[in-house]
Chain A
Amino acid sequence: MSETLLAILLVTTSAKGSTLVYRWPPSPAASPRFSRAKPDVALSRFHIDNPWRASHPSEGLPDFPEAHDAEHEWKRPARERSRSFSSAGSPSSSGRDSPKDIEYEHLFGYSSEFLANLLCPQRSMCHQKFELLVDDLAFIGHPVSAEEDGAWRFKQEKPKPAHGRGDRGREARVRKDSQTDRESSASPPRPASSEKQPATWLQRFHFVLVLDLPDPSSSASGNVTKYFDIIYEQIAFPVAAVLFQGQVLSNFVEQECDILGSLKDSCSAKGNEFSSYMIQALEASSIAPAMKTLYEAIKSSSVAYMTLHDLPLELQLPPYLDVLLHSEEEQEADLLAPSDDDDYQVWGQEMSFGYRLPSLTAWKSLILLDDGPEDVDPYANLRTSLIGTGDRTLVDGLIKFLETATMSLSLAEMASLLDWDLETQVFPTVRWLVHHRRAKVVDMVHSGLKTVFTLPAQFDAPLSELTAEFNKQFARSGVPPLPRLLVAISTSSSKENDTHFFASVVKTKELLPLYRDVVLWMLKRDMLITLHLRIRIVAPVHLKERVRHARSKKGSGRKHSKLRNQLDPSGEVFPQEIAWLSLSPKSMRRHARLPSVGGSRNSRLSELILDESGDSDSRREEENGESQDELENGSEDENEASMINDPGRATPLQRRWLSAMSDGKDPVIARRFEQINQYFDGKKTDDEILYRADMNRRELREVLLEYNDYLLTFLHPS
């Protein structure tokens, strides 16, 4: 929702001057501002007559009804705005027009002609982002103009047809696509378009969004700028682009302006109410209803489905855009935190901000949101819109995709079920669905609901509302009321075992289908957070000692060797190590000076050449370089437990610890541990580990149980 949007305007410039062609809503008004802080009612009593209070300490405060304050609160007089600083000359007060004329001719306290003139910049300022702030109003748009000779055509010199800027949005792609369609179907368009418009009166037009300038002090520095940028990119620019294209190809905007202009004149001449003009305009033109749709969609924070010049457009602002304008509660900081680069790439630029999307990965799953704007059947709308494209197989495939998607099926599984490619087919489809708010990416839910959930710190709606809604849906099915359910969920994770949803809430298999619906219902409303298991590996002191002991024993056997940097030939447990501890400090330092991985190999070789056993393979040499820093700080580590932060890139010493952990364990499980311990970095979720290692949950559990002493487990949301 863009709480700040006040109005949408379309202004044009011709040789006769600038006109405000259409606006929506009919009579927008800016919210009042105070030039100084509004007195806080709660504190107002401190400002009263302190001497009196001091002399009457026992009487406490006199009755100061709050209404008293409200009464005396300053209210902005109706037309105060136009009578500004240098008051004279403001036409709204000077004209003394009939109220009707004021409606026709004035907007935000300015005359519409003045406003139109203000918003139609010089030609040199066209075809670029427009931003004008006047006190508490912000005007944002993308003015476009005809060429010098008065003809409308795409800029030839630029590689991209329209503006060459910001051609990243999906809408821009739509525009380009449809454009190429047209271009391919019709004759070569550019010369044609310039030829077929012998004389246009329209010189420039500008589709402007008027925003109430947000209070900058309520948000972090720079956020307001970013906010405007996003509105520009997502709304103002695409609409301007489509209108421009329509104008270039078929003089669309000018025709629309003619219609609207003559309608306005006739209505005004007939003395019709302004509102009736606005209504007639909605029927007469196609830009007018589009502006209305757009305005209403933005205000209601939904997707605007509009048609401009027979081109369907779907525009929306990121659902969490307005968060930018408020200093968030602490919890939200997490959500706003810049997502990983990966996410950015997977979701694409336009969805990277303000959508609060979880990362799109193969081990997530998809739930469909059925509360689409139009109809009950979530697919019907899609079907009709897609069938038009004529690509039968695509439609069928998509329908099948939608039918397959459930919360307990990961995207990877879906891909294999449908025989689609994950990266090139599944992800784009998911992106499309999510962007159109038809679906939502969630963490995979176990089909038996054996997933551990927790509650978010905040719900999107008051609990009472949610409860009522929940009752409507589930009251008859015997599910306990929502608060009870929430209690059960929120206490579940503290239990020793059986923390998952099935054990704490469902309890019997018969109720599974019902509770699947319940979980789905809650997931759609962001009321459940899946807790994920993350694992870290700890090398305790006794393990380190054991390793050291084992090593020194081995090392002592070789003490007599003349060469100090002896490789360990017998290493079936630690096959890749070098007898570092027996190195003299000097040679160690020499090693330490070497660059680490893949460094200059020759210099190392010069030492290794002395190696008697001669079984140094390249792999071992690589290790040599790596292990030095760990030897340096490893020595202090020896006496206390430490974490192996990234087992996937463990140093040789850490690798020794890792393998020592498997001493005396079941070899099957030990092999499994070896296989998956690279994922135990505290960042990978259990779902991800299972997906990557291609394992099932039971096997993972066995490993965790067996290696319990060396593992730290964390349960927290992602």
Chain B
Amino acid sequence: MPSDGDSFLPRIQSVFYAVFDNSLGPTIVYQVPEGLIAVPPPNANTLATPVTEQFAPIEPPGLTARNSSTSLVSPSDARPTSRSLYSPQKRSGSSTRFLFNFDDISKYVIPQSQLCGRLVTCSTKRHRIIGFPVQLKGKYQRNYLRYNLCFVFERGADLSCYEPVVRKVSRVLTACEEESEFLSSPNTSPAIHAILEQLYEDLNSYAETSIPIDRFNSIELKIFPFYPNPPPVKDWMVPLALINLDKRIEANWDLTMVKVCRHIDGVNHVSRIAHLADCDLALTRLAISHLLYYQVIMTIDIFQYSNMYTLRKNIQTLAVEADVKEECGPYVTKPGKPIPDWPQLLHLYSRLKPGKTVLEWMVKHEIHELGIDVRRFTSFGVIKGFLRRVHRWPVLLPSEPGTPVNEPKRTRVNSLSGWAYSPSPVVLPVDLSPSQILLRGRAPQTAPVVPSLSPDLASPPMPLSPRPTPATVSAATPGRTRRASAAEKVLEQLRNRDIQKTGGSPRTSWIQYTDPTIGITATTPTPQDSPIRAVGGTSQSRRQSLSFLPANPPPSPVLAKATISATLTPSRPTLSPSVSTTTVPRNGRESTPFPKELLPLLDGEHHTDELAVRFEAGWPLLEQWLMAIGGGEGPGDFGRVAMIYR
């Protein structure tokens, strides 16, 4: 967000109350502070108190109590007033001590009836006057009463936050006048001066005020600082707390907000938060957008090992910034590991390029040996603003003559075909990454997760055994009404396992090394995905070697507590062979089915995070779909689908 607007509220230079005088025309009746606005010398007696005599203290009966508070504040007020007196003096010699001449603007302050009932802001050379002229019909001499209570500000002030205030003051005064002729009766109208005083002092000092006027009416005002609207929240955005939200949650908060806040950890994306919190997606978006509005969170991208990043321009200044330098190492290094020096980290950042996945980068630079937590590493750059996510934007090209559409040209199915979306029972590669499951957020609560799956998870040979068929899956999730796809079912199980693994508690202690200075309060223990998903297109052997990578963060305490942790982690190396075996029977299969709704979205305007969240399919699955759509020849080749990185 650009210059996050000055949260300083503009200072009121002057408040004045003007009426249409029957003989004089537009006249200022009272102004606070006195004499700042030049008015023509009063040469006729009017029903209003002449400006020069404004000090005549007329205490209306109902206002004494309030006035005590006024007098309390007034000393503090004297200084700024005098200051505002001087500034015009310096510049213009002619209108020495006045802000401006009332005559200049009187036609906008007490305008003709067409302008009454509208918020009118007019400007002089150095000031801006905002008011809400009102015309009331009634038993007045001219059959109407026109008045206006105006606020004067510096010319450059942003008055957005005062607009509702001006409207409300005018509304209350109108009500008072209509009920008891508060403004027009000579008995009560002098009270307006006191109201002006209090408005001027309270709003400038406290930005709020409460002015009782009569038994029924009072002016209750609070000025809220102005924030610009936040950018629209997308389902694939990952909110990241900038303050400790937990501490701020109060019992009377909106229920959705409370639920949503609990899942803001810098890892979960909006759609997943909605499912985790069991909230409607639209309401979740609204809640996130609300937090964004108050600038207590920011959004980053979904971390996946298949992500790509690139440097942004401001690396050139941020690279030498002391706080970036000092925070980076401690933040991105896993606990207990030596902290790499900044030049080394900088070098690693500089090697993140479009077209190169984080995983490839990790392999190349042997990140695992450095003890760097890659998710934190990338998000640090994104948060600080020198790193930018490069998205994949698939485009489906029109078929060229001679190329069969959607016909799989490959006979050899690569090892990943196990990921294929298929209506038939799928044998699953075991190493399904958690993040895929994260991506297809379905509320975990909808399924009785733990009981149904724990036996499965507890068995060490699980990875080698064929995964349960859809039938078992549906049995495991009885409450579900809609079955979207087989892929979903498959993912469902894995997600369940994931839930098991994370133990449902997003906070674990390996987060505790969060560097407080960065102001990121939340992190999660689990990596968004395991190496395998990014391997998408790489060869089997590569993959095998990768699966040994400690790309996952160190086992979290939670993991250790969970019963399955022992079985899960060591089982990984044994997975690769199993994957290859599972692929064997699939050789010669037809192309992978894909949702038809995907096709129109391949126009280069939707990136893969968006598609992944929308179709609840992780990148490896999406990659399969895209390959099937494009008729690509395997890893990295999407055929007619052009994959633009930007």
Contacts and interface: CB of A to CB of B under 8 A. Distances in A.
B355 A220 contact: no
B646 A456 contact: yes
Contact of A122 (B104, B117, B395): B104
B363 interface: no
Which of B137, B283, B343 lies at the interface centre, i.e. has the most chain A CB atoms within 10 A of its CB? B343
Contacts of A133: 119-122
A121 B104 contact: yes
Contact of A221 (B160, B354, B355, B397): B160
Interface string A703-718: 0000000001111111
A337 B228 CA distance: 17
Number of contact residues on A: which range applies? 35 or more
A84 B343 contact: no
Nearest to B280: A46
Given A86-B113, A134-B119, A643-B343, A327 B4 contact: no
Interface stretch (B305-313, B438-446, B461-469): B305-313
A682 B119 CA distance: 52
A327 B397 contact: no
Nearest to A35: B167
A490 B226 contact: no
B136 interface: yes
Given A457-B388, A491-B645, A682-B319, A118 B107 contact: yes
Given A86-B136, A455-B646, A493-B353, A714 B311 contact: yes
Contacts of A464: 603-604
Interface stretch (B62-70, B258-266, B344-352, B406-414): B344-352
A113 to B, nearest CB: 10
Which of A131, A329, A716 lies at the interface centre, i.e. has the most chain B CB atoms within 10 A of its CB? A716
Contacts of B311: 714-716
B313 A716 contact: yes
Which of A86, A111, A121 lies at the interface centre, i.e. has the most chain B CB atoms within 10 A of its CB? A86
A454 interface: yes
A365 to B, nearest CB: 20
A462 interface: yes
B164 to A, nearest CB: 11
Contacts of B646: 454-458, 486, 490
Contacts of A203: none
A132 B1 contact: no
Which of A218, A455, A458 lies at the interface centre, i.e. has the most chain B CB atoms within 10 A of its CB? A455
B5 A327 contact: no
A91 interface: yes
Given A89-B114, A114-B112, A463-B605, A643 B2 contact: no
A84 B228 contact: no
A714 B350 contact: yes
Which of A40, A492, A682 lies at the interface centre, i.e. has the most chain B CB atoms within 10 A of its CB? A682
A454 B354 contact: yes
Contact of B231 (A84, A327, A481, A718): A327
Interface in A642-690: 642-643, 645, 682-683
Given A128-B125, A463-B605, A490-B646, A334 B160 contact: no
Which of B4, B286, B353, B356 lies at the interface centre, i.e. has the most chain A CB atoms within 10 A of its CB? B353
A643 B393 CA distance: 37
B319 A643 contact: yes
A483 interface: yes
A712 B395 contact: no
Contacts of A380: none
A494 B317 CA distance: 24
Given A134-B120, A490-B355, A217 B350 contact: no
Contacts of B108: 118, 132
A435 to B, nearest CB: 24
Given A640-B341, A712-B343, A714-B311, A135 B354 contact: no
Interface in A76-126: 82, 84-86, 88-91, 110-111, 114, 117-118, 121-122, 124-125
B316 interface: yes
A42 B235 CA distance: 14
Contacts of A134: 115, 118-121
Which of A88, A330, A456 lies at the interface centre, i.e. has the most chain B CB atoms within 10 A of its CB? A330
B331 to A, nearest CB: 17
Contacts of A15: none
Contact of A491 (B344, B347, B355): B355
B6 interface: yes
Interface residues of A, dominant DSSP: mixed
Contacts of B136: 86
A682 B350 CA distance: 12
Nearest to A327: B228
A84 B117 contact: yes
Given A84-B116, A131-B122, A221-B5, A641 B229 contact: no
Contact of B347 (A84, A135, A683, A712): A712
Nearest to A90: B114
Contacts of A225: 156, 158
Interface string A217-236: 11111111100000000000
A89 B397 contact: no
B315 interface: yes
B123 interface: yes
A88 B116 CA distance: 10
A118 B105 CA distance: 10
Contacts of A89: 112-114, 135
Interface in A324-381: 327-331, 333-334, 336-337
B52 interface: no
Interface in B286-320: 286, 308, 310-317, 319-320
B569 interface: no
A129 B117 CA distance: 25
Nearest to A114: B114
A67 interface: no
Nearest to B387: A716
B101 interface: yes
B644 interface: yes
Interface in B359-402: 388, 390, 393, 395, 397
B603 A455 contact: no
A641 B115 CA distance: 70
Contacts of B1: 220, 327-328, 333
Nearest to A529: B646
Contacts of A329: 231
B328 interface: no
B288 to A, nearest CB: 14
A500 interface: no
Given A218-B228, A490-B644, A643-B343, A91 B395 contact: no
A546 interface: no
Contacts of B6: 221-222
A122 to B, nearest CB: 5
Which of B103, B114, B312, B388 lies at the interface centre, i.e. has the most chain A CB atoms within 10 A of its CB? B114
Contacts of A716: 310-313, 315-316
A33 to B, nearest CB: 11
B615 interface: no
B397 A481 contact: yes
A538 interface: yes
8 contacts: A84-B116, A124-B103, A132-B123, A135-B118, A135-B120, A462-B605, A492-B355, A536-B319
Given A220-B4, A327-B1, A481-B397, 15 more contacts: A86-B137, A125-B104, A131-B121, A131-B123, A216-B226, A220-B228, A221-B6, A464-B604, A483-B604, A484-B397, A491-B354, A491-B645, A492-B355, A494-B356, A641-B343
Closest 8 CB pairs of A and B: A85-B117, A221-B5, A494-B355, A463-B604, A455-B646, A483-B642, A490-B645, A89-B113
Interface of A: 40, 42-43, 46, 82, 84-86, 88-91, 110-111, 114, 117-118, 121-122, 124-125, 128-135, 216-225, 327-331, 333-334, 336-337, 454-458, 462-464, 467, 481, 483-484, 486-487, 490-495, 534, 536, 538, 540, 640-643, 645, 682-683, 712-718
